[in-house]
């Protein structure tokens, strides 16, 4: 569960990126965040995993107030939140397997358990057969699937994706969307910022539209049991 209460963000240069947003996202929801370029979508999303701090207002994840989490506890918060970006952000000198296992909470885990879990998530993204490949040996869609595997390897309750299909062709984008839906079906909350109108229009999910740092629309789009 994610809750924002009258959240504002002004950057040090004076840009007012988010201007009074309040939202409630239930566990297991799939939410699109849409809006014009510069509307504040990334800022809104970055505050959820404390990449940016709000200037004002409160954000809580699973009942924990983010502003009260001490710096040294942020890695624990991040472990419960997977993040996927437009540009994949894989480590170029590590194999697919290593990129995913690197993100794992390895303390007290046996090598066998790590391998089992990594192969499990590579199976989810259908890349078990490319575990030994390096990122540059993969297509863009495959690289994004590795990034998704890395994001879910610690079983996060929330997966945040900022323009995950931004660098991909339509067909590859649909492949990524099918994988995200599958992950959502298993109970992970998904929050995805996107400019892809086709995807938003054809997958019936909640849509939060942001304009000038405010919510201009919040529609259930047929999501059963949710009223906006
Ligand atoms: N680190 C920063 N410092 C100063 N201003 C910033 C910073 N990051 C973003 N901004 C500004 O905040 C506003 C909102 O930016 P943000 O990246 O949140 O928008 P966005 O909706 O994600 O845009 P896009 O769709 O183009 O990615 C913009 O005016 C942007 O220039």
| DSSP line for the chain | -EEEEEEEEE-TTS-EEEEEEEEEE-TT-EEEEE-STTSSHHHHHHHHTTSS--SEEEEEETTEEGGGS-GGGHHHHHHTEEEEETT----TTS-HHHHHHHTS--TT--HHHHHHHHHHHHHHTT-GGGTT--GGGS-HHHHHHHHHHHHHTT--SEEEEESTTTTS-HHHHHHHHHHHHHHHHTT-EEEEE---HHHHHHS--EEEEEETTEEEEEE-TT-TT---
Q: Residue 228: is its pLDDT beyond 70? A: no
Query: What is the residue with the minimal CA distance to atom 28 of ligand 1?
Result: 38
Domains of the chain by start residue, with CATH: 1-79+189-228 (3.40.50.300)
Contact 88, 172 (CB under 8 A): no
Between 205 and 110, the higher pLDDT residue:
205
Average pLDDT over residues 101-113: 81
Does ligand 1 have an atom closer than 6 angstroms to the CB of 86?
no
Under a CB-based contact definition with an 8 Å cutoff, are residues 165 and 194 in contact? yes
What is the rounded average pLDDT of the residues 155-176? 94
pLDDT above 90 covers what percent of the chain?
79
- Residue of the CA atom closest to atom 12 of ligand 1: 17
Q: What is the mean pLDDT of the chain?
A: 92
**What residue's CA is closest to ligand 1, atom 24?**
37
Counting from 1 in the atom list of ligand 1, the atom nearest the Cα of 163 is 27
Q: How confident is the model at residue 224 (pLDDT cuts 50, 70, 90)?
A: very low
Q: What is the pLDDT of residues 39-74, one digit of tens each?
A: 999 999 999 989 999 999 999 998 889 888 888 888
Q: For residues 56 and 59, give the distance between their C-alpha atoms in angstroms, rounded to a whole number.
A: 10
pLDDT computed for residue 226 by the predictor: 43
137-151 tens-digit pLDDT: 999 999 999 999 999
- Enter the pTM of the model: 0.91
pLDDT band at 215 (very low <50, low <70, confident <90, very high): very high
pLDDT above 70 for 225? no
pLDDT value, residue 3 = 96
> Is 35 a pocket residue for ligand 1 (Cβ < 6 Å)?
yes
Q: Residues 47, 8: contact at Cβ < 8 Å? A: no
The residue whose CA is least distant from atom 3 of ligand 1 is: 11
Distance 84 CA to ligand 1 centre (A): 17
Question: What is the CA(128)–ligand 1 centre distance, in A?
Answer: 36
CA of 195, closest atom in ligand 1: 25
Q: Please give the distance, rounded to the nearest whole angstrom, from the Cα atom of residue 122 to the centre of ligand 1.
A: 33
């Amino acid at each position: 569960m994610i809750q924002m209460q009258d959240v504002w963000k002004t950057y040090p240069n004076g840009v007012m990126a988010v201007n009074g947003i309040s939202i409630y996202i239930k566990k297991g929801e799939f939410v699109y965040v849409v809006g014009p370029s510069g509307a504040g979508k990334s800022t809104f999303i970055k505050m959820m995993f404390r990449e940016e701090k709000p200037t004002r207002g409160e954000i809580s994840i699973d009942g924990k107030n983010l502003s009260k989490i001490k710096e040294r506890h942020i890695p624990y918060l991040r472990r419960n939140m997977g993040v996927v970006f437009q540009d994949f952000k894989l480590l170029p000198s590590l194999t697919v397997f290593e990129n995913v296992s690197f993100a794992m909470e390895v303390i007290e885990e046996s090598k066998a358990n790590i391998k089992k879990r990594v192969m499990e998530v590579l199976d989810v993204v259908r890349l078990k057969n490319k575990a030994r490949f390096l990122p540059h040996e993969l297509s863009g869609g495959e690289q994004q699937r590795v990034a998704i595997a890395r994001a879910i390897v610690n079983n996060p309750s929330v997966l945040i994706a900022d323009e995950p299909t931004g660098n991909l062709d339509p067909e590859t984008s649909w492949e990524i969307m099918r994988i995200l839906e599958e992950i959502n079906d298993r109970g992970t909350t998904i929050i995805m910022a996107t400019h892809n109108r086709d995807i938003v229009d054809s997958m019936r999910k909640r849509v939060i539209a942001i304009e000038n740092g405010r919510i201009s629309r919040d529609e259930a789009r047929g999501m059963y049991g949710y009223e906006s």
